[in-house]
């Protein structure tokens, strides 16, 4: 997959079928749209492409109530490539883009820069100045500019439309199993393991601590069954998200105990996949009571992982 990060880099490309959207989670709805784009490209002997902004337009426009990410940029690109996308147009959203009329947007970007001969978008796709363009105006402009348009219907699960807004809410509430149903994969956050206060080690449960990434949606405070990816290996784990109220109030962080793991991971990059919330965060009477509860949490996590293995 060839990635273009600036408009003036897009030179000497083949004609495309281009998917349009923020793709800020690459959830099941996004995956259906991209799969249709790749299918159409193969059928028409064209290149498949995705056009998206590397930053969320709302964060440039408002500067308040920032939209949190559901996926890292590298993870997003890896999924696009795995799905068979040939070109990725991943551009920074700027006020210049925001000032384009829908007609300019369709002509300068889709028809000319991206060489689109077919475009695929969602039922609620909006574009151009003040989001005045929609799927119907896109169809009209395509007729004039030489590209066809496919408009994808919403993808629903149990009557609920899959959306990034819904998924952000589920993560923030700690509903990780439900979140996985809509994402089509486990939600994950990552970081570099930093030095902690060593309380976990002193009570028999050493943890990998990472700081909270403020750009990402962080699950609600509590204890979770997780997987922890270190390099190419995936370890069963249990993770606490919160401020550790039993031992003193700290800034919210993420600390993960890898089950039956021996080793030092300081300075290593890890990625934590959230599978299921076991309990809310709470303050215990003393460290001994906390240790007993962590032991119970680890047992519950082991049982959960055993059940997953039997299902696979």
CATH superfamily of 186-311: Riboflavin kinase-like (2.40.30.30)
**Per-residue DSSP letters for 44-111?**
HT-EEEEEEESS-HHHHHTSSSPPPBSS-HHHHHHHHHHTT-SEEEEE---HHHHH--HHHIIIIIII
pLDDT of residue 285: 79
pLDDT of residue 263: 80
Q: Which of 58, 53, 37 is nearest to 5 (CA)?
A: 53
CB atoms within 10 A of CB 251: 8
Residue boundaries of the structural domains of the chain: 2-157, 186-311
pLDDT at 253 over 70: yes
| 3 state SS of 270 | strand
Q: Which of 276, 203, 211 is nearest to 237 (CA)?
A: 276
**Do the domains at 2-157 and 186-311 have one common CATH topology?**
no
pLDDT of residue 60: 83
Q: Which of 16, 45, 21, 43 is nearest to 32 (CA)?
A: 21
pLDDT at 72 over 70: yes
pLDDT of residue 204: 56
pTM of the model: 0.90
**Per-residue DSSP letters for 211-229?**
E--TTB--PPSEEEEEEEE
pLDDT at 19 over 60: yes
Task: Quickly tell me which residue has 């899959």 as its tokens.
Answer: 162
Residue 253 half-sphere exposure toward CB, CA atoms < 13 A? 19
**Residue 89 pairs with which residues in a beta bridge?**
4, 51
**Residue 158 · residue 182 · CB < 8 Å:** no
CB atoms within 10 A of CB 215: 13
pLDDT at 70 over 80: yes
pLDDT of residue 61: 80
**Alpha carbons 70 and 23: distance in angstroms, whole number:** 10
Domain 2-157 class?
alpha beta
- Which residues in the chain belong to E strands, given as ranges? 2-4, 16-20, 47-53, 87-91, 116-122, 148-152, 156-157, 160-161, 187-192, 208-211, 222-230, 233-242, 253-258, 269-280
pLDDT of residue 196: 64
Q: Which of 73, 89, 84, 71 is nearest to 21 (CA)?
A: 89
pLDDT of residue 206: 79
**Alpha carbons 10 and 3: distance in angstroms, whole number:** 9
Round the average pLDDT of the chain to a whole number and report it. Answer: 91
Q: Which of 184, 169, 23 is nearest to 91 (CA)?
A: 23
């Amino acid at each position: 997959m060839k990635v273009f990060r600036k408009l003036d880099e897009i030179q000497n490309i083949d004609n495309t079928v281009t998917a349009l959207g923020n793709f800020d989670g690459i959830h099941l709805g996004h995956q259906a749209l991209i799969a249709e784009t790749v299918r159409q490209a193969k059928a028409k002997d064209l290149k498949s492409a995705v056009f998206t902004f590397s930053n969320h337009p709302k964060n440039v426009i408002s500067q308040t109530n920032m939209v949190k990410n559901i996926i890292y940029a590298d993870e997003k690109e890896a999924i696009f490539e795995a799905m068979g996308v040939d070109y990725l147009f991943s551009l920074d959203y700027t006020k210049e883009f925001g000032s384009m009329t829908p007609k300019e947007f369709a002509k300068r970007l889709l028809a000319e820069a991206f060489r689109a001969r077919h475009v695929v978008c969602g039922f609620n796709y909006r574009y151009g100045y003040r989001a005045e363009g929609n799927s119907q105006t896109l169809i009209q402009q395509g007729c004039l500019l030489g590209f066809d348009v496919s408009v994808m219907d919403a993808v629903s699960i149990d009557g609920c439309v899959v959306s990034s807004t819904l998924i952000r809410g589920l993560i923030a509430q700690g509903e990780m199993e439900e979140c996985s149903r809509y994402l089509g994969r486990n939600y994950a956050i990552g970081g570099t393991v930093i030095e902690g206060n060593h309380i976990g080690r002193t009570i028999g449960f050493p943890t990998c601590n990472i700081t909270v990434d403020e750009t990402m949606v962080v699950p609600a405070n509590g204890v979770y069954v997780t997987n922890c990816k270190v390099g190419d290996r995936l370890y069963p784990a249990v993770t606490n998200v919160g401020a550790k109220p039993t031992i003193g109030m700290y800034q919210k962080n993420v600390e993960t105990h890898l089950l039956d793991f021996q080793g030092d991971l300081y300075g290593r990059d890890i990625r934590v996949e959230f599978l299921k919330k076991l309990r809310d965060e709470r303050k215990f009477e003393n460290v001994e009571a906390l240790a007993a509860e962590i032991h119970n949490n680890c047992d519950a996590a082991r049982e959960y992982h055993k059940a997953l293995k039997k299902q696979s």
